[in-house]
Amino acid sequence: IALAVFLMYGIPNMKLPKDVVQRRIDTLTKVGIELVANTEVGKDITADELKKTFDRVVICTGAREARDLKVPGRELSGIMQATDFLKAATQTVLKDGPAANDQLKGKHVLVLGGGDTGNDCIGTAIRQGCADITQLEITPALPAERTPQNQWPEWPMVLKTGYGQKEAKALFGDITAYASTVTAFFGKDGQVKEAEISQVDHFKPVAGTEKKIKADLVVLAMGFTGAEQWLFDQFGITAKNDNFTTNDTQIYVAGDCRRGPSLVIWGIHEGRMCAEKIDASLQTLASEKI
């Protein structure tokens, strides 16, 4: 498996070229940082072993608990989380090159979610040769311009069209259905073939608006709820503080697993800030030993 897992696998190659990520990995190894892959805390190594080996441990594993969709037919094959879909696509690119990434040729794709990850899934499906794409966003469409209640300098609450949506619109027309969700999946021989979609009002399906659409692949890009709790349980972490510390003075947290789902730039920033905190704590520790 490649290192820098999210940057390598979670962001498509056309958005973040993998040679750029690999260049950074190579830089880290050249300055003496040891990178250990395929190692899971609680399985390959225990939390206690890490604490005995290192003076400080930083948990920065991201916010990987993805939202799921509990509707009839969810167990069918061909319904997958966005991270799994993007990982598989990148693995193909890394192995065989972008030109070989055509496994969706002729397939009908349904993407649930209208954020950055949903756009990445749309862009990836296009490059894999899909026949068409439908995107569902459970919230209503935002206005095209600021409302009187949303003046500068507030963040502009206006409709934004991502690169994936723009590419899809050029190929297939308007693909996005707002205020809509899936109420059931239907399949054949264990493989998803159709989805029943419905309009929603305050996130609840509206009776009488149901219709079926073709769906050979369904990608769930509905966001993340936070970090994986089992990892914190391994270390006995019960509190995460604003200054990157925890209830265990030896354990620090940084990035999405501390602040919640966010952007890569915040992960970089928090990593640097956390390193400064750890450096200060180790200097204090060293002075106490003198």
pLDDT bracket for residue 288 (50, 70, 90): confident
pLDDT, position 181: 98
Residues spanned by the domain of 145: 68-222
Q: Residue 289 pLDDT > 90, yes or no?
A: no
pLDDT, position 37: 86
pLDDT, position 102: 76
Work out how many domains the chain is built from and give that number.
2
* 111 and 86 both lie in a single domain: yes
Q: What value does the mean pLDDT of the chain take?
A: 93
Residue 150 tokens, joined? 């949303």
* 95 and 209 both lie in a single domain: yes
Q: What is the mean pLDDT of residues 13-30?
A: 92
pLDDT, position 279: 96
DSSP state of 170: H
* 127 and 88 both lie in a single domain: yes
Tens digit of pLDDT for each residue in 120-138?
999 999 999 999 999 999 9
Tens digit of pLDDT for each residue in 224-251?
988 889 999 999 998 888 899 999 999 9
Q: Residue 1 pLDDT > 50, yes or no?
A: no
* 76 and 47 both lie in a single domain: no
> Domain boundary at 198, 222, 246, which?
222
pLDDT bracket for residue 178 (50, 70, 90): very high
3-state helix, strand, coil split of the chain in percent (to 5) is 35, 20, 40
Q: What is the mean pLDDT of residues 244-259?
A: 94
* CB half-sphere exposure, 98, CA atoms < 13 A: 11
Write the CA distances from 204 to 139, 183, 200, 253, integer angstroms.
11, 10, 5, 36
Q: Residue 97 pLDDT > 70, yes or no?
A: no
Q: What is the mean pLDDT of residues 262-275?
A: 94
Chain centroid to CA 77: how far? 21
Q: What is the radius of gyration, based on Cα positions, of the chain? A: 22
* 83 and 154 both lie in a single domain: yes
> Domain boundary at 169, 204, 222, which?
222
122, containing H or E segment: helix 116-127
Mapping DSSP to helix (H, G, I), strand (E, B) and coil, where does residue 75 land? coil
* 119 and 257 both lie in a single domain: no
pLDDT, position 6: 85
pLDDT bracket for residue 285 (50, 70, 90): confident
Can you give the pTM of this predicted structure? 0.89
Distance between CA atoms of residues 262 and 58, nearest Å: 18
pLDDT bracket for residue 101 (50, 70, 90): low
Taking a C-beta distance cutoff of 8 angstroms, is the pair 195, 218 a contact? yes
- Output the CA angle 223-229-231, nearest 5 degrees: 120
* 96 and 150 both lie in a single domain: yes
Q: What is the mean pLDDT of residues 74-95?
A: 93
* 117 and 240 both lie in a single domain: no
> Domain boundary at 222, 240, 262, which?
222
Q: What is the 3-state secondary structure (H, E, C) of 258-270?
A: HHCCCCHHHHHHH
* 31 and 44 both lie in a single domain: yes
Tens digit of pLDDT for each residue in 184-232?
999 999 999 999 999 999 999 999 999 999 999 999 999 998 888 999 9
Distance between CA atoms of residues 104 and 244, nearest Å: 43
Domain CATH for 75: 3.50.50.60
Residue with tokens 């106490």: 288
Write the CA distances from 80 to 28, 38, 64, 119, 258, integer angstroms.
33, 23, 14, 16, 26
pLDDT, position 183: 98
Q: Residue 287 pLDDT > 80, yes or no?
A: no
* 168 and 254 both lie in a single domain: no
177: exposed, middle or buried (Cβ count in 10 Å: 0-12, 13-18, 19+): middle
Write the CA distances from 28 to 3, 23, 39, integer angstroms.
11, 9, 19
Residue 208 tokens, joined? 């009488």
Between 144 and 5, whose confidence is greater? Answer: 144
Distance between CA atoms of residues 12 and 223, nearest Å: 17
Residue 65 tokens, joined? 């608990």
* 156 and 95 both lie in a single domain: yes
How do strand 191-201 and strand 204-205 relate by DSSP bridges? antiparallel
Q: What percent of the chain has pLDDT over 90?
A: 80
pLDDT, position 239: 82
* 56 and 15 both lie in a single domain: yes
